[in-house]
Chain A
Amino acid sequence: MEITVDLNGAEPPFAQLISQIRAAVQNGALSPGDPLPSIRQLATDLELNNKTVAKAYRLLERDSIVESRGYRGTFVHREARANSEVDLNAWVAEQLAETVGRLRDAGVTDAEIRTSLAFVMNERSTQGES
């Protein structure tokens, strides 16, 4: 199966990788247990930075689309097809829409919501670093 990345595309390369691997799992081009190329190999072939491919693999692993088996490499997760149906971005958007709606109903302005969201995000990332 071939994967194609447009270096000048509107979507960043790591997102293109994620969406194409997800699509391949959904349409059966990739089956559970199939081996994936190493980060270095894929980055070399696509002329991308290793970190870009590593980021795509990390996010796919977080969503249980792929799984890393140490030195043996990265493989398609056994529950990949079911997990690929879950769109985490859509779920986040839905949760935020619900929360923002409740806050607006309570009279909080959009500017205050943005400031607080930024504050919470910064707090989380500071906690994550410490």
Chain B
Amino acid sequence: MLNWIEYLFYPLFVAQIVLISVYLPGKMNQHMSHMLEKYPPEQYPRLYPQETAKYVLGQWKYRMANNVIAAIGFVLTALLLFVVDHGSFADDGYISEAWPAFYGLLQFSPLIVLELSASGQLKLMRDSNTSTTRSAELMPRRLFDYVSPVLVASAVVAALGAALFEMSLHDFVWSEDRFKRLAILIFVNSFFLLIGFSLLKGRKPDPYQSAADRTRVVSLNLRSLMFTSISISGFAVLQSLDGVYNIDYLDASIMSLYLVVVASLSFGYLLRQQLAADIDFEVYRDAEA
């Protein structure tokens, strides 16, 4: 017999499976196919520094990896529902947050591989760029030109608020648990700061990208980082409450919800905006054609 906590968890977990391993990868696959069809390598060779077969194979691998992970997710749901004795490894007998957390890690792995592969492609594009002319915008790239000060302030206040909330709930007494939570919050936000800094001050990853497209991509990525940082701070607040108000039974549901929110605000947001964007693909045409 399911209790209300399980009624809450299972729909969230299925939403996690469908969104991260079915819906978003599906959209990404559609985008890849659309790109190959509308901007073929014969006409846009600068966009494809490798043979076409490699892109087709890469797309197939990405689709298959997500299909397998989605299948694992549905099998896992059935196991959690009918086989796993939650009381055997959790004192409280409720579903452990480790299930959605580790499955979430698995779900994000194809995306991480895709990101690394995209970086490799950009490097190949830079290496194959034989042009001796280089262009740059004659204006400084400053944070607030790309993202609203309100959003930046919200992310900072959310992170500081989450840290202060955690400390104030425990009367500002240090403990190992406190240290771990604050360290994670600082580490994640520092990582985001590094990415933001490299987006603003780093070299142009795509040598052919127009100035307008670069501005849009930097802006999109910075906004996505801010949204993700805010949701991480929100999750940290929920975790702080969890320890004090004994709502451990909601851990698994909160973790699933958190992964759904993070995926929507990072991958989902970037994908949606990229699909809607009016990118200048003429820069990728063969200069000699």
The interface of chain A, by Cβ under 8 A from chain B, is 1-9, 21, 24, 30, 34-38, 40-42, 44-48, 73
Give Cα A21–Cα B136 distance, bound, in whole angstroms. 12
B201 touches A40 (CB 8 A): yes
Nearest residue, chain A, Cβ from B134: A46
Give Cα A2–Cα B13 distance, bound, in whole angstroms. 49
Give Cα A30–Cα B177 distance, bound, in whole angstroms. 55
Other-chain residue from A8, A9, A37 in contact with B138 (beta carbon distance below 8 A): A37
B137 touches A2 (CB 8 A): yes
A45 touches B204 (CB 8 A): yes
What residues of A have a CB within 8 angstroms of the CB of B203 in the complex? 44-45, 47
Give Cα A88–Cα B198 distance, bound, in whole angstroms. 38
Could you list 20 further interchain pairs (A-B, Cβ under 8 angstroms) beyond the known A44-B202, A45-B203?
A1-B138, A2-B136, A2-B138, A4-B133, A5-B135, A7-B133, A8-B132, A9-B132, A21-B138, A34-B139, A37-B140, A41-B140, A42-B138, A44-B201, A45-B134, A45-B135, A45-B136, A46-B135, A47-B134, A73-B140
A7 touches B132 (CB 8 A): yes
Number of B residues whose C-beta is below 8 Å from A?
Answer: 15
The interface of chain B, by Cβ under 8 A from chain A, is 132-141, 201-204, 211
Nearest residue, chain B, Cβ from A34: B139
Known contacts A2-B211, A40-B201, A41-B201: does B136 contact A46 (CB below 8 Å)? yes
**A38 → B minimal CB distance (Å):** 6
What residues of A have a CB within 8 angstroms of the CB of B211 in the complex? 2
Give Cα A3–Cα B138 distance, bound, in whole angstroms. 6
B134 touches A4 (CB 8 A): yes
**A8 → B minimal CB distance (Å):** 4
B135 touches A3 (CB 8 A): yes
Give Cα A126–Cα B60 distance, bound, in whole angstroms. 68
**A98 → B minimal CB distance (Å):** 37
21 CB < 8 A contacts A-B: A2-B135, A2-B136, A2-B137, A2-B138, A3-B137, A3-B138, A5-B134, A6-B133, A21-B138, A24-B138, A35-B139, A36-B139, A37-B136, A37-B138, A37-B140, A37-B141, A41-B140, A41-B201, A42-B138, A46-B134, A46-B135
